[in-house]
Amino acid sequence: MSYHRPFGTPHPLGAHLENGGANFSIFSRSATGVELLFFDHVEDVTPSRVVNFDPVIQRTYHYWHAFVPGVKAGQLYAYRMSGPFEPARGMRFDASKALLDPYGKSVVIPRGYDRAASSVFGQCVTPPMKSVVVDPGAYDWEDDVPPRRPSSRTVIYEAHVRGMTRHPSSGVEESKRGTYAGLIEKIPYLKDLGITAVELLPVFAFDAQDAPSGRRNYWGYAPVSFFAPHPAYSSDPDPLGPINEFRDLVKAMHRAGIEVILDVVYNHTAEGGVDGPTLGLRGIENAAYYILERDRSKYANYSGTGNTLYANHPVVRRMILDSLRFWVDEMHVDGFRFDLASILARDAKGSVLPNPPVLWDIESDPSLAGVKLIAEAWDAAGLYQVGSFVGDSWKEWNGHFRDDVRDFFRGVPGSVRRVADRMLGSPELYGHKEREAEQSVNFVTCHDGFTLNDLVSYNEKHNEENGEENRDGTNDNRSWNCGVEGPTDDPAIEALRHRQVKNFLSVTLLSLGVPMILMGDEMRRTQGGNNNAYCQDDETSWLDWSLLDRYGDLHRFVQLLAARRRLRDLGREHQCLSELIREADIVWHGVRCGHPDWGDESHTLAFTAEFRQQRMRVHYLMNAYREALEFDLPCAAGSVWRRWIDTSLPSPEDIVPWKEAPVFEGNRYRVEAHSVVALYSSIGEASGAEQGGAAPA
């Protein structure tokens, strides 16, 4: 903008540097007065300067604005709104509160901030959170280019910025542990593991005090801003440090060929229910930003956290779109996973819209074309839309994949047919849309629930440390402790658990769809049976890197599985496993060739995929039964079968590099109890005896 009006302009929203100062603009339909507060220090309670907005010349429609000369990047600011406090009408103005700018690009959270004090009406006695004026263009992206990796060649690693390096064993210097800078140091590890995209738990600035007394909100699902990166994840104490350090992380990830996907929370805020603090939206225009009950003094709670953002209100729709564009255009992120995305389908009364405007806005926005959009297609009020989420470009966390794969490997009757569908990209769920298999994001574990180690070690949740008498967290874990609850010294049980972990990883990484694994599952990270560790900012949640020494074989197992997602050795350098299987002829089997057992009491499944163009067959065998079983092998038609994976074998025989797979002689294969086997044959390859057992080049 090359000019300014002396009293500011309504566009753009937020704080915008221009012409030797800054334009400030904020929406509020019902406020009777607006003040812009400037602060000199993070811990200040009282502003050093107050700018009063004239409602005649500094209000255009419902937008209040001011141009302030001399403002520079790094200036701390907030708003103060006057207006009626009439909860019965949905109005909750509190002129004592300093409020965050909904469009603030950086936020500072004082050490003296007190959530409880911020919840008291008419009182401001502790230092408030403050927004920071930012110059988004003041950063050198150098030659950064987003990888734009196709979903068919994507392997997602769900990680927590703090948890990834906060543990003393991380090897990161203490000042950088738990920060964006610390995570940069783990990029070589991620690349070596075979990860192509990191999905970060929330990095929007959040209220860490939004947790039970004496605990901290660790996961970050308590946003106070939809634009600013969380300041506590920055190793730089400067108010502008978080935005620059986050960009450093994205740039470094891209140089390694790794995409950055953000877990975004557009369904609620940290302001909570009626007893929550007034931090921003509540004190700016409560009834526009939140869905209210018929009794407008109360908040609808489809998020399970006390309030629900009214995502389809025009002002909120614009804010969400502007936020997404900011993270793509200015922060270079590659995609988003939308927490409780089904809430974005609700209207002002909480009813589900058939064509939610905000979801179509996101899908059709040209700035977002090409970025990955992933929906957690459910909410906390029972709405479940997996397989039916609106739109054409959205991918979905496939909760059915998680549940059905867990059921199969713990021997639940009737799970064979379901797991077969899940392995082929869940056509039962997505076939009607005629979409690619990668609409399904396949996972067995995520941040919410047991880790993979705990899934095979606990039958029940153990959340006592959360302070809610073990009432929190889901009871539907579909886990199996293999005979003993919790840690054990029994070598037989430990071996079974280790095998089960490999089984889950095998199916996740070999099924059609986009695979996602949870941080630390490749080294059996445990949370001690806690399946809801959202408030455990301690060693319960942090990744203990010493586990890598103990479970290095599992790390190697994941490495080799991830490498096969690209199948470089099949002569088609750029074709991935899922593309090949889609083209394959598939025949299902049971323990006898051509005779799959789809019965409720079946615990076995096998199938052969023949790739005629590549002149190759792959044969998978899965035994979830408690005893070993002999499986017939299909005729190799003059070729030989080679054993790539057998999860019952000790490392390094459990999985071998593709080219080094040994020949298996025989027409039957003994699959041990609770095991997965993968064989392959090259059509026309000579027998092992004739060509010395060498694998095909």
What letter would DSSP give residue 387? T
Q: Which helix (H) or strand (E) holds 604?
A: strand 604-611
Q: How far is CA 89 from CA 93, 94, 95, 280, 430, in A?
A: 11, 15, 17, 18, 43
Nearest CA among 77, 52, 81 for reference residue 130: 77
Give me the catalytic one of 263, 376, 436, 610.
Answer: 376
* Placement of tokens 């502003």 in the chain: 47
- Active-site residue 376, yes or no? yes
The span from the CA of 177 to the CA of 234, in Å, is: 10
> CB neighbours of 692 closer than 8 A, spacing ≥ 6?
none
> CB neighbours of 441 closer than 8 A, spacing ≥ 6?
156, 374, 395, 396, 397, 398, 513, 514, 516
Are residues 614 and 680 in contact, defined by beta-carbon separation less than 8 angstroms?
no
Q: Which helix (H) or strand (E) holds 360?
A: helix 357-364
| DSSP state letters, 606-644 | EEEEEETTTTEEEEEEEE-SSS-EEEE----TTS-EEEE
- Active-site residue 653, yes or no? no
Q: What token pair was written down for 279? A: 């931090």
The span from the CA of 515 to the CA of 506, in Å, is: 10
φ/ψ bin of 104: left (φ > 0), alpha (ψ from -120 to 50), beta (otherwise): beta
Are residues 659 and 569 in contact, defined by beta-carbon separation less than 8 angstroms?
yes
The span from the CA of 196 to the CA of 576, in Å, is: 13
Q: Where are the beta strands (DSSP E) in 28-160?
A: 33-39, 49-52, 59-60, 63-69, 76-82, 85-86, 91-92, 107-108, 130-132, 156-159
The span from the CA of 397 to the CA of 572, in Å, is: 29
| DSSP state letters, 453-485 | HHHTT-SS---GGGTSTT-SS-S------TTSS
* Placement of tokens 């092998």 in the chain: 633
The span from the CA of 355 to the CA of 618, in Å, is: 42
Give me the catalytic one of 101, 339, 407, 654.
Answer: 339
* Residues recognised as catalytic: 339, 376
